């Protein structure tokens, strides 16, 4: 078997093995449904319902598990969610187990045979007395079938990240999934792309949006229509903070040609700055221009030119929006809030912070040399989406102690898909 296929088999079998290792509970006697979805599926599985607690049927809580592997750019993470299943409405999140390893899966692109996933651990399936009571031939045939299922038929397909999963997570913790007319929107600024997702309230959004950016789906007895402009073809890939930083500094996403220069000179860096910056597998030498016009003005011109007509304006600017990921990180860098806190922030806060940082930017080990560029980019990006300077956002990393990431939403999406098939 070729190495890439072998790695894929290990990943598929490993998902099931990891479930057995971490959850440490026996399977229920009910066989889980094996389904085939037309929608992309996530890496993971939903385990059968499990009974815990008192034996009284009326008092017995029901639990369900979901395992999500997040193959990110900097590492691979596993989320094991334990849900308490309610008779009506949404399940509640009872517990989450989390582990991570580095580097990310993409680091093995040129050497897939070197893939190592310590998150996957061997387990042993031992027969109980029930099997020992069977005739030997039947018992062996049953074990052979189980072995085949574990190695070849386990239902653990993989998929690329859907832009709506983080929106589902956010609206689960804020209560929007229970009431379709009270959902909130989100902007998630990653390293490679920017995602904007919300449920349109302005009819103009529905009428003017491309069909690829509108999606209607059922989630826990409610129908939601969302506008999601993220990873679809021709969307905002390349507008994440790190990708944009490279482009604004004068680099390109592709590796420099043989003999090509890796030196980047930019008006968005302090005039006296000279240092190195690694992006992907390339180490760039980055320098500031000699003193001339104000750093803020020069950088603003570069950023506006880069973003010109790259994003679509939003009509639903009055909706309640949350800012995630690098929006949050730069807020922490500025001292607007402490790590783990929640706070409201205005577009003008980023604008003023950019002016302040750029005007006083010096070479300092305590401050990132890219902070001026990053803040100018964030402030211009929000305005390009159509948000005015007085627009207020919720700046969060967690809500009600639940991390806002796509993994929990992916688990809910898979649970709903299995329920309806």
| pLDDT at 222 (0 to 100) | 83
By C-alpha distance, which of 364, 363, 340, 337 is closest to 349?
337
Single pTM value for the model: 0.74
By C-alpha distance, which of 179, 164, 56 is closest to 413?
164
| pLDDT at 311 (0 to 100) | 93
| pLDDT at 45 (0 to 100) | 42
Q: What is the pLDDT along the chain (421 residues), one digit of tens a residue?
A: 444 443 443 444 444 444 433 333 333 333 222 222 223 333 344 444 444 444 444 556 788 888 888 776 667 888 888 888 876 667 888 888 888 887 777 667 677 766 665 666 555 565 655 666 677 787 778 777 777 766 665 555 555 545 788 899 999 999 888 876 789 999 999 888 899 999 998 888 888 888 888 888 888 888 889 998 755 544 588 899 999 999 999 987 666 765 567 899 999 999 889 999 988 778 999 999 877 778 999 999 999 999 999 999 999 999 999 999 999 999 999 888 999 899 999 999 999 999 999 988 665 557 789 999 999 999 999 999 999 999 999 999 999 888 888 888 888 888 877 776 5
Provide the CB-side half-sphere exposure for 418 (13 A, CA): 22
| pLDDT at 196 (0 to 100) | 93
| pLDDT at 257 (0 to 100) | 61
Helix or strand run (H / E) with residue 100: strand 92-101
For β-strands 185-189 and 44-46, DSSP reports them as unpaired
Identify the structural domains of the chain with CATH numbers, from first to last. Answer: 3-160 (no CATH), 163-406 (3.30.420.150)
| Contacts (Cβ under 8 Å, ≥6 apart) of 82 | 23, 63, 64, 65, 93, 94, 95, 96, 97
- HEC readout, 136-150: HHHHHHHHHHHHHHH
| pLDDT at 269 (0 to 100) | 93
Specify burial of residue 354 (Cβ count, 10 A radius: 0-12, 13-18, 19+).
Answer: buried
Binding residues for ATP: 191-195
Binding residues: 191-195
By C-alpha distance, which of 242, 220, 253, 275 is closest to 88?
220
| pLDDT at 363 (0 to 100) | 53
């Amino acid at each position: 078997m070729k190495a890439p296929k072998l790695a894929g088999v290990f990943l598929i079998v490993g998902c099931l093995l990891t479930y057995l290792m971490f959850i440490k509970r026996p399977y229920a006697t009910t066989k889980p449904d094996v389904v085939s979805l037309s929608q992309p599926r996530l890496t993971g599985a939903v385990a059968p319902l499990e009974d815990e607690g008192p034996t009284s049927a009326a008092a017995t809580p029901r639990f369900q598990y979901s395992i999500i592997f997040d193959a990110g750019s900097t590492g691979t993470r596993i989320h094991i969610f334990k849900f308490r299943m309610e008779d009506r409405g949404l399940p509640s999140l009872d517990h989450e187990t989390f582990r991570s390893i580095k580097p990310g899966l993409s680091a093995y692109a040129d050497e897939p045979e070197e893939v190592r996933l310590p998150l996957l651990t061997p387990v042993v399936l031992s027969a109980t007395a029930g099997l020992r009571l069977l005739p030997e031939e039947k018992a062996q045939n049953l074990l052979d079938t189980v072995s085949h299922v574990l190695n070849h038929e386990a239902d653990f397909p993989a998929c690329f990240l859907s832009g709506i999963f983080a929106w589902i997570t956010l609206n689960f913790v804020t209560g929007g999934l229970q009431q379709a007319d009270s959902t909130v929107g989100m902007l998630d600024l990653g390293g490679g792309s920017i995602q904007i997702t919300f449920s349109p309230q302005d009819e103009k959004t529905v009428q003017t949006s491309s069909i690829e950016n509108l999606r209607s789906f059922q989630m826990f007895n409610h129908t939601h229509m969302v506008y999601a402009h993220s990873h679809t073809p021709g969307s905002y890939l390349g507008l994440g903070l790190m990708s944009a930083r490279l482009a604004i500094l004068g680099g390109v996403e592709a590796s420099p040609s043989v003999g090509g220069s890796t030196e980047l000179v930019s008006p968005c860096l302090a005039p006296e700055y000279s240092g190195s910056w690694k992006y992907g597998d390339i180490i760039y030498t980055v320098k500031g221009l000699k003193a001339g016009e104000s750093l803020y003005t020069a950088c603003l011109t570069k950023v506006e030119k880069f973003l010109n007509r790259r994003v679509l304006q939003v009509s639903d600017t009055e909706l309640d929006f949350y800012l995630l990921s690098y929006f949050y990180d730069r807020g922490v860098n500025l001292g607007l809030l402490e790590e783990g806190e929640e706070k409201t922030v205005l577009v003008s806060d980023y604008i003023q912070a950019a002016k302040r940082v750029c005007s006083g930017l010096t070479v300092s080990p305590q401050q990132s040399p890219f902070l001026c560029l990053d803040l100018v980019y964030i402030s211009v990006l929000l305005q390009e989406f159509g948000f005015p300077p007085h627009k207020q956002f919720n700046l969060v990393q967690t809500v009600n102690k639940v991390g806002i990431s796509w993994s929990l939403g992916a688990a809910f999406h898979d649970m709903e898909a299995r329920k309806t098939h």
